[in-house]
Amino acid sequence: MSVKNESPSKEVSTSSTQGRNLFSRKKKARIGLNAINIRSARFTLIPVFVLLFVFLALPMINSVKLSFSRWGGLGPLEAVGLNNYKFLFSDPQMRYSSRITIFYAFTVAFFVVAIGTLLAAAVSANVRGHKAMKLIWFFPGIAPPTAVAIFWSSGFQPESGVVNILLGKIGLGNNHAWLASSDTALFPVIFVGIWSAVGFAFLVILGAVEQIPVSLREAALVDGANMRQQFTKITLPLIRPILMTIFTLEIIWTFNGFTVVWAMTNGGPSDSTSILPILAYKEAFRYGRFGTAAAMAVITGIFLMIVGTIGIRLSRSEQQ
């Protein structure tokens, strides 16, 4: 994001220096270009803002309104003040779900960034086969999340599941029923969350690594640094801002994530994997309590805004 903020200012400087050097005929052309296009800009921006208002701002306002009401899916809203929030703050399931959502999001984001960085480092060091690997590693990001989640959820079944079959082959037993117990069900879900998100983070991080001038790394090699030192002393410090940003975004996306968890467990067994979006979905569309569901959504939104703001601040200050 910070990268983007720079581009308009960069544009000013280049266009003004160019403007000074141009012939007057071209200058006139530029003025014509701007004046008429500003009207077009206003005209084409109207649908953008109208649609974003209708599909983003309005629903958010309605969610907040709904969170102070009782609504069963039909008829008018019934105002209940702070009751929904009061109920949620004392509800053990809500507390449990908030805890596991935070745990889930931070664990996935941490491993995604860590693995993505290691893979990017390996590829930038030209490991054998890196061209094909770059292609293959994004497969999980391209396949529909529902399909891969269903595969993995079958894979974690005892005996018939692929994971258990493979573990059995190497002598670790083939009847682990992780998804059937509320103590362990979260771990396969975390694994699939990481598995499907690494490819994207890897490509972004690799993009950042490849922007580091080769001369810098070569200089380190000349100075006698080995591969690991080169990575920890040069690459890592230079890509830290981008790591911070992608870490924040991964938290937000995982926090928001619905499909993988829903397809693997439906939030079960006994709500042990019901992260907040799933808890809210069930509350609304299974139990018809749209008011409490909206309150959950609002709490989720506020939390995400806090995480997002802190993350962006941190990556900004890193950059300076």
Residues numbered 242-301 forming contacts with other proteins, rule: CB under 8 A: 242, 245-246, 249, 252, 255-256, 258-259, 262-263, 276-277, 280-281, 284-285, 290, 293-294, 296-298, 300-301
Q: How far is the CB of 185 from other proteins (least distance, A)?
A: 14
d(CA 254, CA 293): 19
Taking CB under 8 A as the criterion, the residue among 105, 112, 115, 251 binding other proteins is 115
Of residues 141 through 180, those in contact with other proteins by CB under 8 A are 141-148, 150-155, 157, 160, 162, 165, 169
Check residue 317 for interaction with other proteins (CB under 8 A).
no
Check residue 83 for interaction with other proteins (CB under 8 A).
no
Q: How far is the CB of 104 from other proteins (least distance, A)?
A: 15
Which one of 79-87, 96-104, 137-145, 232-240 is the stretch in contact with other proteins (CB under 8 A)? 137-145
CA 259 to centroid of chain Cα atoms: 13
Give the end-to-end CA distance of the chain in Å, rounded to a whole number. Answer: 14
Taking CB under 8 A as the criterion, the residue among 85, 138, 187, 314 binding other proteins is 138
d(CA 225, CA 36): 57
Q: How far is the CB of 258 from other proteins (least distance, A)?
A: 4
**Cα-based angle 286, 291, 295 (whole degrees, multiple of 5):** 105
Helix (H, G, I), strand (E, B) or coil at 70: strand
Query: Does residue 196 contact residue 134 with C-beta atoms inside 8 Å?
Result: no
Please name the residue ranges forming H helices in the chain: 2-21, 24-52, 58-67, 83-90, 92-124, 130-136, 139-142, 145-155, 162-169, 186-210, 214-222, 227-229, 236-256, 259-265, 276-285, 290-319
Q: How far is the CB of 113 from other proteins (least distance, A)?
A: 13
Q: How far is the CB of 237 from other proteins (least distance, A)?
A: 19
Taking CB under 8 A as the criterion, the residue among 104, 178, 200, 247 binding other proteins is 200
Q: How far is the CB of 54 from other proteins (least distance, A)?
A: 8
Taking CB under 8 A as the criterion, the residue among 5, 21, 24, 90 binding other proteins is 5
d(CA 121, CA 133): 13
Check residue 111 for interaction with other proteins (CB under 8 A).
no
d(CA 170, CA 155): 16
d(CA 227, CA 28): 55
